[in-house]
Structure 1
Amino acid sequence: MAAHRRPPQASPRRTGFVTATAAAAVALSVQPASADPLPDPNKKGVRAQVDRLYEQATQATEKYNGAKEKADRLRGETKALQDAVARRQGEVNELRDRLGMVAAGQYRSGGLDPALQLFLSEDPDSYLAKASALDRAGERQAAVLQQFLSQQQALRLQREEATRKLGDLDATQRQLGERKAEIQGKLREAQRLLNTLSAKERTRIAQEEDRADRASARVNLGNEASASQRAAAALASAKSRVGMPYVWGASGPASFDCSGLTSWAFRQAGVTIPRTSQAQAAAGTRIDSLGALKPGDLVIMRTDLSHVGFYAGNGQILHSPKPGAQVRYESIARSGMPFMWGVRIG
């Protein structure tokens, strides 16, 4: 079986970015080989703590992604409602003008119909409680008046709905801010802990991360076919992003979080899937057996479904794993995250 080969080298700008990111948040899934790192007051290893902080940050990132997706949807719905309100207001104004012209004509002819008097009052909505007055108006006037009142009522309902949507949007945007602060706090704490390590230990960790990237370039993926052309196309797009950095909340094309990579890759294949790993877990046909996965299927990881990647073949996952890491291939069995199930799209 042919071995996967390293993709083209990253540009100097991207390499510099990855180096800086790795220095701030190196991958810590590997176990220490010799001396123990500095312990914290709870006597846990620094690297284990940082690993946990990064896991918490990625979990918070998926919640952030969900809130952002909701905010984007609410923003679009609110704009559509506001546009509809503006159109309906124009229609109401036009009906008001028509009724005003009728009233003016009646006034010039020597009188004003009682129904139009109601319309021209300070509270035209009170007309709804006095609908019997329509009997005193001509058939045409009655139809226009009824249309006006119906449009007024519909306008009021649309305005109320738009107000509710704006309230939901404000609450969601506050949630976005809270998630962002949570993620940044986890990453700052991880960096603080990393700074307690010696320069030699930090260098060794960075070298281990580099070895993981080089191992990714030599991985053997086998030659199993994908379940569909779209899955194959999505996987091919994801493969083209190997070496790109993990950035929380990013969805390409130059940086990704885990669900950002999978949703971006499927978009390149002409398929829209949800943004978050939890939503992607229910986006297609569930595959419970790891052995039944085909290349291009989604791989759902962790008990809270907070991680996702592509099944790449031969027991490998192609994913954007965590802060400080790059998009790469890794053994599912050695990823340190429990496999939950697969999802076949299309």
Structure 2
Amino acid sequence: MASHRKPRTRIMQSAASRTSAVGVTTAALASVTLLSQSASAAPNDDKPSVEEVKAKVDKLYQQAGSQTQKYNAAKEKTAAQRVKADKALDAVAQRTAKVNEARRTLGQYAAAQYRTGGVSGTATLLLADDPQSYFDQQHLMDRMTGSQKEAVTQYQSRQAEAGEKRAEATKQLSSLTSSQKTLASSKTAVQSKLTEARKLLSRLTAEEKARLAEIEAEKRAEAQRKAEARAEQERQRREAEREREPEPEAPDEGAENPDDGADTPEPEAPETPDVPDDPAAGKVEKVLSFAKAQLGKPYVWGASGPNSYDCSGFTQAAWKAAGVSLPRTTFDQVEVGTKVAKSQLKAGDLIFFYDDISHVGIYVGDGQMIHASKPGDDVKYESIDYMPFHSAVRPA
């Protein structure tokens, strides 16, 4: 039987049409590739340079240092506030014990009244939380003995004292809570800055990290050149000071012997002028000895020794070794002692950096200091020109 199905129509393609189709497909693929490449290249165009990353990381470390000082201040305040709160709670407990003691005394009087068949109203008065409310009832007061009246007065006094101490404890606990919140906020701020810095550094390629190390080395080399120039200036200054010192006079051989029997008064020793900016004898040596013994120990924000330090914890510990008590933060340490110009620095002086006074080190001479550097670094020597100078003080 013949098939009645309509035969399929064959689509004839010429060579030209096939070529056109291939051309369209190739163009489409090329367009997709270009778009893909441009899409992937766009973020690279916005990627910061190594120099920009370094500037950003340095700024984050500085901000973390400033937040660390705020954390240290909050930590000290919280510790002090906790002591006050504990004392207030102890005072409440003591006053409450006295109130209970006075109440027991009243109870004894009330029990005696009951055993002897006394007026029940008097017993009620003695056991009341507020005996004063009964004072208007003159007939009850007339029935009370002198000792009973004294017991009531003592109870009232102790109850009032306990109320005052409870109010004070509530106030101190509220302040403690506020200090703890500030402490937690400062801790979060420090961690946030350090985390951001670590993320920036982690995104660098090996080549970029090498370039970053090169930039850092160049910066340190420049700071070291300045330190060497400062060391030469200090050497010349010391020589000039020695030249200005008067030479001791030689004895006159032709002079008469003072021991010829005449009473010659001994000359008075010249007064030693007070030099308020000179460190106390021996203290600087102890400071420097302590500082050098800490070299290589890690920087840890919020730490004050003995195994790790932040910058102000390190300077505080060093001067403590010399018997001098410094405050905990750079903000307070900068106010201690005598202000010193950068050109007049002496070993042991505290040097502060940045406009926000967020870093401090100990000057050791020749343009160098020892300081607890930054997160990921150690206690080490550094040129004082490595960071922007703010001010300097001489603690003793």
Alignment TM-score, normalising by the size of structure 1: 0.74
Shift of 1:183: 1.5
- Provide closer, same or farther for how the CA distance between residues 84 and 67 of structure 1 changes in structure 2, counting only shifts above 3 A: same
Q: Distance in 2 between matches of 1:229 and 1:147?
A: 60
Match of 2:393 in 1: 342
C-alpha distance in structure 2 between counterparts of 1:39 and 1:328, whole Å = 37
> Residue in 1 aligned with 2:310?
257
Please say which of residues 80-89 and 57-66 is displaced more in the overlay: 80-89
Question: Residues 227-306 of structure 1: matches in 2 within 5 Å?
Answer: 227-282=280-335, 284-306=336-358
The amino acid across from 1:337 in the alignment is P
Deviations 1:80-123 (A, max 9, x none): 221222222222212211221122223323325967643422x3
Cα displacement (A) at 1:230: 4.0
Distance 1:232 1:73 in 2: 32
Counterpart Cα distance in 1 of 2:74 and 2:292: 28
Gaps of 5+ in 1: 1-37
Contact 2:64 2:190 in 1 (8 A): yes
Aligned to 1:45, the other structure's residue is in SS state: helix
| Change over 3 Å in CA distance of 1:43–1:312 after alignment to 2 | closer
User: Deviation of residue 206 (structure 1)?
Assistant: 5.0
Q: Unaligned stretches of 5+ in structure 2?
A: 1-44, 239-277
Q: Which amino acid aligns with 1:195?
A: S
For the residues of structure 2 that align with 1:244 and 1:72, how far apart are their CA atoms?
26
Deviation at 1:298, TM superposition (A): 2.4
- Equivalent pair of 1:311/1:318 in contact (CA under 8 Å): yes
Question: Partner amino acid for 1:149?
Answer: Q
Q: After superposition, where does 1:1-346 map in structure 2 within 5 Å?
A: 40=47, 45-112=52-119, 117-121=124-128, 123-124=129-130, 127=132, 130=135, 136=142, 137-203=144-210, 205=212, 226-282=279-335, 284-332=336-384, 334-345=385-396
Structure 1's 132 and 157: CA in aligned 2 closer, same or farther, altered over 3 A? Answer: farther
Deviation at 1:319, TM superposition (A): 1.2
How much does 1:64 deviate? 0.9
CA contact (8 A) 1:71 1:172 kept: yes
Equivalences, count: 301
For the 8 Å contact 2:279–2:394, the answer to whether it is kept is: no
Q: Is the 8 A contact 1:60 1:183 kept in 2?
A: yes
Cα distance in 1, alignment partners of residues 134 and 363 from structure 2:
65
Contact 1:309 1:320 in 2 (8 A): yes
Whether the 8 Å CA contact 1:247–1:255 is kept in 2: the answer is: yes
The verdict on how the C-alpha distance between 1:88 and 1:188 changes in structure 2, with shifts beyond 3 A counting, is same
Q: Quote the Cα distance in structure 2 between the aligned partners of 1:135 and 1:291.
A: 83
Instruction: Flag the structure with more relative contact order, 1 or 2, with Cα contacts below 8 A and sequence separation at least 6.
Output: 1
The answer as to whether partners of 1:128 and 1:149 remain within 8 angstroms in 2 is no
More divergent stretch after superposition (287-296 vs 46-55): 287-296
How far apart, CA to CA, are the structure 1 residues paired with 2:171 and 2:47?
48
Residue 154 of structure 1 aligns with an amino acid whose one-letter code is: E
SS of 1:341's equivalent?
Answer: strand
* Contact kept? 1:288, 1:341, Cα under 8 Å: yes
How far has the Cα of 1:173 moved from its partner? 1.7
Call closer, same or farther: CA 1:153–1:271 in 2, change over 3 Å. farther
Q: 1:135 to 1:234 in 2, by over 3 A?
A: farther
> Structure 1 residues 177, 131: CA separation in 2 closer, same or farther (over 3 Å shift)?
farther
**What SS class does the counterpart of residue 94 from structure 2 fall into?**
helix
1:41 positional shift: 6.1
